[in-house]
Amino acid sequence: MIAPARAAAFGVVRRVFEQGAYADRALVGAAAGLDARDRGLAQRISYGTVQRVRTIDHGIGALASRPVADIDPPVLAALRIAAYELGWSEAPAYAVVDDTVELVRGAGTRHATGFANAVARRLADGFRKLVEELPPGPLAESYPDWIYELWVRDWGAEAALELMRAQNEPAELVVRSPVPVGTPTDVPGAYLLEAGAIEPDTGRVWQSRGSQLAGLALGSRDGERILDACAAPGAKTTMLHGEVTAVEVHPGRARELAENVERLGAANVRVVNADVRELDESGFDRALVDPPCSGLGVLARRPDLRWRAKPLPELQLELLQAAASRTRPGGLVLYSVCTLNADENEAVVDASGLEPDSLGGEWPQFTHPKRPEFLLTTPHRHGTSGFFIARLRA
């Protein structure tokens, strides 16, 4: 029998590469019915395979003596999983090879079992060594060249390598909770959990320390009018005090936001399904702007993102300006993005012309190394998602 976690991972990898699915969403269906241990294993194998696919395909191409593009998609999915497990896990090679053949047999590609068996055996013998001999860089760490080059530009080659490596590891498991649970962290209300420890209940939200920091740094207070300009799914919305207007342009995401607001009992939040650039309301005391971004700080959590990420500085500037123009003079605007890219971070804030309200003194451990008025959480230095956070005066 094929190991259940491996079978589930096979389903996820096929959906990601054959149908363009998001790995985290595909996992929910594929892992339904597995126990917590197998679910964790299925996540590790499928996320690792999707993240490392550039290195994996390089190895398969070299060892299969056939271009990867010429391999049937289900056969390629089974070989990619095999390469991941043989390269980065302690799974026994015989079990990986046997299950690779069975996955291929069961996927309607029976004709390819001999090929799959031969390639899986060659991977078992030579893939780890092949990877170890690659020069340090984006091929060895499995990133698109442009992301590596951007991080070298912003932080230098050594930090770029550390960033790539950190986001190939599982992300921290942190929950936001009103009552203590697990291990307290350096962000109030954020608790670190062991894998599989608890499921979030109505009062808890899975949310990285970097994301929680962005919600806290706005400093919202009871009695104030607050605009959350880009609100869904609402992880930060439901942290805010005051009378919150939570705006979301996408109808499906606005529904998800409303459900989360209700689940968490955030009676101070009103959801508005609209484009914030057209919102007919103003005079807010504070605004949170958490716009779409390339997500280069959350690549550990979203394994397929590195293959589709796009910087969005023009949209980010428009959304920041839309929120600032709806905030009363002297009010505060918090701009946060889950990316590590100066073009979407400090360059957008600089282009807005808004004056920074310095955050570095409030959270010294997260001070931006080059711009101390801002915060920057990073996977390689802080072990959390990468968030750029700026508080600005409207």
Ligand X SMILES: C[S@@+](CC[C@H](N)C(=O)[O-])C[C@H]1O[C@@H](n2cnc3c(N)ncnc32)[C@H](O)[C@@H]1O
Pure H helices in the chain: 4-19, 23-30, 36-51, 53-64, 73-88, 93-106, 113-132, 138-141, 145-155, 157-166, 209-217, 251-263, 313-325, 346-352, 379-382
Which range of residues in 180-188, 224-232, 301-309, 346-354 is near ligand X by CB under 6 A? 224-232
Parallel, antiparallel, or unpaired: how do β-strands 355-356 and 387-393 relate? antiparallel
Which of 236, 306, 371, 380 binds ligand X (CB under 6 A)? It is: 236
Q: Which of 64, 171, 235, 338 is catalytic?
A: 338
Per CB under 6 A, the segment of 56-64, 138-146, 174-182, 228-236 that binds ligand X is 228-236
- Torsion over CA of 129, 130, 131 and 132, rounded to 10 degrees? 50
Check residue 210 for interaction with ligand X (CB under 6 A): no
Closest CA to 10 of 53, 64, 46, 34: 46
In terms of Cα–Cα distance, which of 235, 236, 246 is closest to 270? 246
191 token code pair = 């608790």
Contact with ligand X (CB under 6 A) among 101, 232, 300, 309: 232
Q: Is 275 in the site for ligand X (CB under 6 A)?
A: yes
**Cβ 69 to ligand X shortest distance, Å:** 34
User: Which residue in the shown chain puts its C-beta closest to ligand X?
Assistant: 230
* Contact between 233 and ligand X per CB under 6 A: yes
Lookup: tokens for 101: 């053949």
Q: Site mask, ligand X, residues 306-325, x = CB under 6 A?
A: -------------x------
**Interface with ligand X, residue 99, by CB under 6 A:** no
The two three-digit tokens of residue 90, written as one number = 């302690």
Q: Pick one of 248, 285, 304, 346: the residue that binds ligand X (CB under 6 A).
A: 248
Torsion of CA 144, 150, 156, 159, to 10 degrees: -60
Q: What is the side-by-side order of every strand in the sheet holding 174-176?
A: 183-184, 190-192, 174-176, 205-206
In this chain, which of 277, 328, 381, 393 binds ligand X, going by CB under 6 A?
A: 277
Which residue, 53 or 337, has its beta carbon nearer to ligand X? 337
Q: How far apart are CA 267 and CA 15, in angstroms?
A: 38
List Cβ neighbours of 391 (8 Å cut-off, separation of 6 or more).
217, 218, 219, 332, 333, 334, 335, 356, 357, 358, 359
- Find the binder of ligand X among 290, 344, 346, 373 (CB under 6 A): 290
Please, which residues have CB within 8 angstroms of residue 18's CB and are 6 or more apart in sequence? 73, 77
Stretch that binds ligand X, among 97-105, 176-184, 198-206, 230-238 (CB under 6 A): 230-238
230 near ligand X, judged by CB under 6 A: yes
Is 7 a binding residue for ligand X by CB under 6 A? The answer is no
Work out which of 231, 244, 271, 354 binds ligand X, going by CB under 6 A.
231
Among 247, 298, 300, 333, binds ligand X (CB under 6 A): 247
User: Is 293 a known active-site residue?
Assistant: no
Q: Supply the minimum distance, in Å, between the C-beta of residue 146 and ligand X.
A: 21
Pick the binder of ligand X from 74, 189, 210, 291 (CB under 6 A): 291
Q: List the catalytic residues.
A: 338
Q: Where do contacts with ligand X occur on this chain (CB under 6 A)?
A: 230-236, 247-250, 253, 275-277, 290-292, 319
